[in-house]
């Protein structure tokens, strides 16, 4: 019989014995307990950590759901490769290793790609989900496998915290579909302005999402997910499900990433137990998705960029929780008796 240690309880006890009033570090203490539970350890490690960015294009952009053309996906991949994107900057600032995996852009192939870039395209963009299934189940599985491989590689390389981000013009539309399908969010909550949709684009987006979800309602769940999915979203789902199994801490980013988390939890139940929500985005559906996963966000910063930027902004909060947990003196060492 294996010895089972309740690391959650042990972590709470340890925190209660530190030189401070009980519970006085609030959410920082809860965060430490969560980290100790996921890592199954009496010492928390927040380094090394890695952000894996998954990129893909979306056929549904042809239906007018985005303010930006698909070509921007390619330009942003190049910007990330060049180190000038928001995610590049924040990864450097937070000492987070960055990788970018192209799972399905239309036409990105950086000249002279660096070692942290990988071309793993399953196909060039999804089909238009307003007209047909975006992906077949086989394509979904292939994209999932790309993410699964990345989780295994991160674990083998010794990373302790992983986060995923995405780059894909139009991908708040599949995210909205998946949040309705899996978390049961109402249409008005699920559909937000994404990267900057105006009123006309919003009306189109709402119509497209409602019809697409309606069309998949009676299908087998994995078939329905594939039909409404994006390649980068499927890859993130496979990344999360495998990272959780490997004991890695998953720091969640925004709305699209959380749609992938919903898929992971649906197809590999328990994955959400390894997750920490970095922030709650400005997209209204994000709260529904986080609630469904039972996650409370660390930050509410009205961010809506994606690319892992919300997760990276929250990353140092994990360091603070770990530092308190690993390094603080105990009340006993200080010579004070517990009074509260």
Q: How many residues bind a second copy (CB under 8 A)?
A: 54
Distance CA 296, CA 306 (A): 18
Segment holding 97, helix H or strand E: strand 97-104
Judged by beta carbon, residue 75 or residue 246, the one nearer a second copy is 75
The correct pick among 82, 269, 270, 294 for binding a second copy (CB under 8 A) is: 82
Q: How crowded is residue 101: how many other Cβ atoms within 10 Å of its Cβ?
A: 25
Distance CA 275, CA 269 (A): 12
Residues 241/162, Cβ–Cβ less than 8 Å: no
Segment holding 165, helix H or strand E: strand 161-167
- For residue 48, whether the previous peptide bond is cis, meaning omega lies within 30 degrees of 0, is yes
Give the nearest distance from C-beta 246 to a second copy in angstroms. Answer: 27
The correct pick among 76, 213, 237, 249 for binding a second copy (CB under 8 A) is: 76
132 in catalytic set: no
**Candidate segments 71-79, 96-104, 123-131, 269-277, binder of a second copy by CB under 8 A:** 71-79
| Site map (CB under 8 A) of a second copy, residues 48-67, x = contact | -------------------x
Judged by beta carbon, residue 158 or residue 196, the one nearer a second copy is 196
Q: Among 55, 63, 57, which residue's Cα sits nearest to residue 209? A: 63
* Residues 262 to 291 in contact with a second copy, rule: CB under 8 A: 282
Give the nearest distance from C-beta 267 to a second copy in angstroms. Answer: 30
Judged by beta carbon, residue 163 or residue 313, the one nearer a second copy is 313
Distance CA 280, CA 261 (A): 14
Six-digit token pair at 164? 């995923």
Number of H helices, E strands in the chain: 14, 6
| Site map (CB under 8 A) of a second copy, residues 182-211, x = contact | -------------xx---------------
Judged by beta carbon, residue 147 or residue 194, the one nearer a second copy is 194
Judged by beta carbon, residue 23 or residue 184, the one nearer a second copy is 23
Active-site option among 29, 216, 307, 333? 307
Q: Does 319 bind a second copy (CB under 8 A)?
A: yes
Q: Does 313 bind a second copy (CB under 8 A)?
A: yes
- Residue 40, phi-psi category: left (phi > 0), alpha (psi -120 to 50), beta (remainder): left
Q: Does 45 bind a second copy (CB under 8 A)?
A: no
Backbone angles phi, psi at 272, to 5 degrees: -65, -20
213: three-class secondary structure by DSSP: helix
The correct pick among 104, 293, 309, 311 for binding a second copy (CB under 8 A) is: 309
- Burial group, residue 300, by CB count within 10 angstroms (0-12, 13-18, 19+): exposed
Residues 286/255, Cβ–Cβ less than 8 Å: yes
- Residues forming the active site: 307
Return residues touching a second copy (CB under 8 A): 18-22, 24-28, 67-68, 72, 75-76, 78-79, 82, 84-86, 89-90, 92-94, 195-196, 282, 299-305, 309, 312-313, 316-317, 319-320, 323-324, 327-329, 333-336, 339-340
């Amino acid at each position: 019989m294996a010895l089972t240690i309740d690391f959650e309880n042990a972590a709470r006890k340890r925190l209660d014995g530190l030189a401070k009033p009980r519970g006085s570090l609030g959410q920082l203490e809860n965060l430490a307990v969560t980290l100790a539970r996921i890592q199954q350890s009496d010492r928390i490690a927040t380094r090394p950590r890695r952000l894996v960015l998954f990129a893909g294009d979306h056929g549904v952009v042809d239906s007018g759901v985005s303010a930006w053309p698909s070509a921007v996906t390619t330009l942003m991949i190049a910007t990330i490769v060049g180190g000038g994107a928001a995610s590049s900057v924040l990864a450097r600032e937070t000492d987070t290793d960055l990788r970018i995996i192209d799972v399905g852009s239309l036409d990105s192939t950086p000249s002279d790609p660096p070692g942290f870039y990988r071309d793993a395209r399953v196909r060039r963009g999804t089909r238009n989900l307003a007209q047909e299934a975006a992906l077949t189940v086989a394509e979904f599985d292939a994209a999932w496998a790309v993410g699964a491989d990345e989780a295994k590689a991160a674990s083998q390389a010794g990373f302790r915290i992983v986060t995923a981000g995405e780059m894909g013009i139009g991908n708040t539309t599949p995210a909205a579909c998946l949040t309705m399908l899996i978390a049961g969010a109402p249409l008005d909550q699920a559909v937000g302005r994404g990267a900057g949709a105006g009123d006309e684009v919003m009306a189109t987006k709402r119509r497209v999402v409602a019809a697409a979800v309606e069309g998949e309602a009676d299908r087998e769940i994995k078939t329905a997910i594939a039909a409404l999915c994006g390649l980068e979203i499927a890859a993130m789902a496979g990344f999360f499900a495998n990272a959780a199994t490997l004991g890695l801490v998953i720091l969640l980013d925004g709305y699209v990433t959380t749609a992938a988390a919903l898929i992971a939890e649906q197809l590999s139940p328990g994955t959400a137990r390894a997750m920490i929500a970095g922030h709650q985005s400005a997209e209204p559906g994000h709260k529904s998705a986080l609630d469904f996963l039972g996650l409370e966000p660390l930050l509410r910063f009205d961010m809506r960029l994606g690319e892992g930027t919300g997760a990276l902004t929250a990353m140092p909060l994990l360091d603070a929780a770990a530092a308190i947990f690993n390094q603080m003196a105990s009340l006993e060492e200080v010579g004070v008796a517990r009074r509260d």
